[in-house]
A and B are shown apart, each in its own frame.
Chain A
Amino acid sequence: MGMNTDTEKQSKLSHLPSDSGHYGDFGGIFVPETLHVALKQLTEAYQTAMNDPEFKNEFQRHLSEYVGRPTSLYYAERLTKHVGGARIFMKREDLSHTGAHKINNSIGQAMLTVRMNKKRIIAETGAGQHGVATATAAAKFGLNCDVFMGTEDMRRQQPNVKRMQLLGANVVPVESGSCTLKDATNAAMRDWMGSSDSTHYIIGSVVGPHPFPQMVRDFQAVIGIECRAQCLDQIGRLPDIIIACVGGGSNAAGIFFPFIDDHDVKLLGVEAGGRSDQLGDHAAPLSFGGPGVLHGSRSYVLQNKDGQTSPVHSISAGLDYPGVGPEHAHWHKSGRASYTSCSDKDALEAFTMMCKIEGIIPALESSHAIAQGIKTARSMKPDQVVVINLSGRGDKDLEEALRLLDDMT
């Protein structure tokens, strides 16, 4: 997976990253020297594991028996009729154990932790989904687990805090900066700098220094691998377009990557457009930001003219992040994937529509992809196919969504 040389055809992107962890101009390793040994060890452990059939089989077994994979590819018939355009299919990641795609990555990295003989895992979390997934994997593999979470997010996502604690994890409150996801990420990286001998840091998205963006993508690629086979099986062909929400970008990378060399399949990422396109009002670095360095890699970021990270806003805590994975930056720049943004308001409307028309409560994150999916499908022909990655379920968002809907009416 992604380990081939740079000599492959230019039009193919599946061979990336390079050995040095670069995706064209993006990616790399921008972290203090202290982490060099840990990252090198991780890269080696990961490469060995991915070439070990036993590791792959065990990973598949956990995904099937524990996570409940494969998740279905669902034809949203009523939504399709309601919209009146292309046929809309949904990849049902919301049906995974813990309610979102995040668990795929946490299981894979927890298995690596055991292989590296480390006893403790740490993670950052915003909405709490990655924290819950990692706490779950920690319980399953008998590892100690500390989850760093901004105090502002702890307030907004109380049920997930309780869930992590119930699963035996220690939730470490982070009270610096904006007290949200980026600060939790800083805190986790700092912990790791002093603890990497005994601790593995499970980053929750396709961000951070190499090999994290590649590793998380590969653990999430099961989404796209399944989806590709299901499309051929159920529809008899590949879809015309795949749409996924993008915060750090792990669910999007997971579903896009197995299609990356299928040039007839369009890929569309949807960022959090928030309240407006003004800096501070959204969380859409590919749409409104520019190249920058944050949390260990070069990608697109939201920052001011001095390189200071900007505040971000989204109704969805899981998309509320000022950066994005470096591979998305490369897909964006190379034109292989397109990226757009969806406002808070449109995401909420899609959230409601999905509940009423399909009987599915989607996560607010996924609602961004659904809103764009509806818009895109409407402009397409009935014989065309749109796949939306329904990355997670919305139970965690009920309180916030109801409050916001109240405010709107």
Chain B
Amino acid sequence: MNRIENIFKGLAESRNAGDTDGKALMPYVTVGDPDLKTTGQILLALQRGGASICELGFPFSDPIADGPVIESSMHYALSRDLKVEQVFNMVSELRDQLTIGLVAMVSYSIIHRWGDQAFIDRAAEVGIDGFIVPDVPLEESERLYQRIKDAGLVLSILISPNTPLDRAKEIAKRSSGFIYLMSRAGITGESVALPEELPDRIQALREVTDLPIAVGFGISNADQVKTVVNVADAAIVGSALVRRIAENREHGRDAVVIAVEQFTRHLASGLKL
């Protein structure tokens, strides 16, 4: 079984057994910000801090779905000449020490240039468990999905707040591992408050899919994590974490890693139901 599927299965079992920690924290980090070695240590810090799965952001020159925090983090990594093969090598070297799931968040521009099959094969080889390809919507996803599935990995196609329910159903059918539900329309970034209609939206999705539901966009503190996992299966936190990494760059690697671990523990405290 795929690692992502296993992780969610394990969480569901502990929920059924009455445990209070049956939900997942899914932080996002941009690989190579501030450098590859630090990203490796960040992944270990996320694991210690209570994350179940990490979204590995492959830096891209033109990330149209991302807000200014993640965009500038990607540009920072690219300005230091980061190459995709180095990302794969970093994951490969670290995979033995990691029990958390690793999902590649990667623009199709990069995958296409490598060649779909070559990229997926290399990802599978180094121990990446799944994909989020934000610029491949349902209409363009068929071939890519089949190749990812054949490689034993999962693919989560984004569902937006304005996605009609019958379309969400089609997306859920095409997805595997988990459903990625955006809490709000627009680009990535922190929000003060989560939308009130979120629980209803999740309830409606539950009726059309059995996959675990992860919610992302705008989640930036433990209270918001708590609100989300009250109704969903996982909370995704991106910009809030990436911002803390950027703020600590100048203080050196240890400061970055400590800040990440502290913030992850804070976020994970919101998982307790």
Chain B binds chain A: yes
Interface residues of A (CB under 8 A from B): 20, 28-34, 36-37, 176-177, 182-183, 186, 189-190, 193-194, 196, 291-296, 298, 301, 303, 305-309
Question: Quick check: which of B156-164, B203-211, B261-269 contacts chain A, the rest being far away?
Answer: B156-164
Output the least CB separation between A201 and chain B (Å). 12
Tell whether B60 is near chain A: CB-to-CB under 8 Å.
yes
Listed by A's residue number, 5 A-B pairs whose Cβ atoms lie within 8 Å are A31-B137, A34-B65, A36-B138, A307-B60, A309-B62
Output the least CB separation between B30 and chain A (Å). 14
B160 with A33: CB separation less than 8 A: yes
Interface size on B, residues (CB 8 A): 42
* Across-interface contacts of A306 in B (CB, < 8 A): 83-84, 110, 113-114
A32 partner, pick from B64, B72, B84, beta carbons under 8 A: B64
Which B135-191 residues sit within 8 Å CB-CB of chain A? Answer: 135-140, 157-160, 162-164, 167, 171, 182, 185-187
* Across-interface contacts of A186 in B (CB, < 8 A): 62-64
* Across-interface contacts of B222 in A (CB, < 8 A): none
* Across-interface contacts of B137 in A (CB, < 8 A): 29-33, 36
Which of A30, A296, A298 has the most B CB atoms < 10 Å from its CB? A30
B78 with A176: CB separation less than 8 A: no
Tell whether B61 is near chain A: CB-to-CB under 8 Å.
yes
Do A32 and B65 form a contact, CB below 8 Å, given A306-B83, A306-B84? yes
Residue of A nearest to B168 (CB): A33
Do A307 and B112 form a contact, CB below 8 Å, given A33-B158, A190-B64, A194-B186? yes
14 more CB-based (< 8 A) A-B contacts, given A32-B65, A301-B109: A32-B64, A32-B160, A34-B162, A36-B138, A36-B167, A37-B163, A176-B68, A176-B72, A176-B75, A189-B64, A293-B109, A307-B60, A308-B60, A308-B109
Inter-chain CA distance A193–B171, complex, in Å, is: 19
Interface residues of B (CB under 8 A from A): 60-65, 67-68, 71-72, 75, 78, 83-84, 107-114, 134-140, 157-160, 162-164, 167, 171, 182, 185-187
* Across-interface contacts of A307 in B (CB, < 8 A): 60, 84, 107, 109-114
B68 with A298: CB separation less than 8 A: no
B139 with A309: CB separation less than 8 A: no
A34 partner, pick from B68, B138, B139, B185, beta carbons under 8 A: B185
Which of A33, A190, A305 has the most B CB atoms < 10 Å from its CB? A33
Lowest 6 CB-CB distances: which A-B pairs, in order?
Answer: A194-B186, A307-B113, A307-B110, A34-B160, A32-B65, A308-B61
Output the least CB separation between B169 and chain A (Å). 14
Inter-chain CA distance A37–B161, complex, in Å, is: 10
B75 partner, pick from A177, A182, A295, beta carbons under 8 A: A177
A20 partner, pick from B84, B139, B186, beta carbons under 8 A: B139
* Across-interface contacts of A33 in B (CB, < 8 A): 137-138, 157-160, 163, 171, 182
* Across-interface contacts of B140 in A (CB, < 8 A): 28-30
Inter-chain CA distance A30–B134, complex, in Å, is: 9
A177 with B62: CB separation less than 8 A: yes
A34 with B182: CB separation less than 8 A: yes
Residue of A nearest to B112 (CB): A293
B67 with A30: CB separation less than 8 A: no
Inter-chain CA distance A291–B187, complex, in Å, is: 27
A177 with B61: CB separation less than 8 A: yes
A190 with B60: CB separation less than 8 A: no
B160 with A308: CB separation less than 8 A: no
Residue of A nearest to B72 (CB): A176
A294 partner, pick from B62, B138, B185, B186, beta carbons under 8 A: B62
B109 partner, pick from A20, A32, A177, A292, beta carbons under 8 A: A292
Do A30 and B136 form a contact, CB below 8 Å, given A307-B107, A307-B110? yes
* Across-interface contacts of A305 in B (CB, < 8 A): 113
Inter-chain CA distance A30–B139, complex, in Å, is: 9
* Across-interface contacts of B182 in A (CB, < 8 A): 33-34
Inter-chain CA distance A304–B107, complex, in Å, is: 14
Do A193 and B113 form a contact, CB below 8 Å, given A177-B75, A293-B108? no
Inter-chain CA distance A194–B78, complex, in Å, is: 26
Inter-chain CA distance A291–B164, complex, in Å, is: 32
B135 with A292: CB separation less than 8 A: no
A37 with B162: CB separation less than 8 A: yes
Inter-chain CA distance A183–B68, complex, in Å, is: 12
Residue of B nearest to A39 (CB): B137
Inter-chain CA distance A177–B62, complex, in Å, is: 8
* Across-interface contacts of A298 in B (CB, < 8 A): 112
B135 with A309: CB separation less than 8 A: no
Inter-chain CA distance A176–B73, complex, in Å, is: 11
Output the least CB separation between B97 and chain A (Å). 26
* Across-interface contacts of A176 in B (CB, < 8 A): 68, 71-72, 75
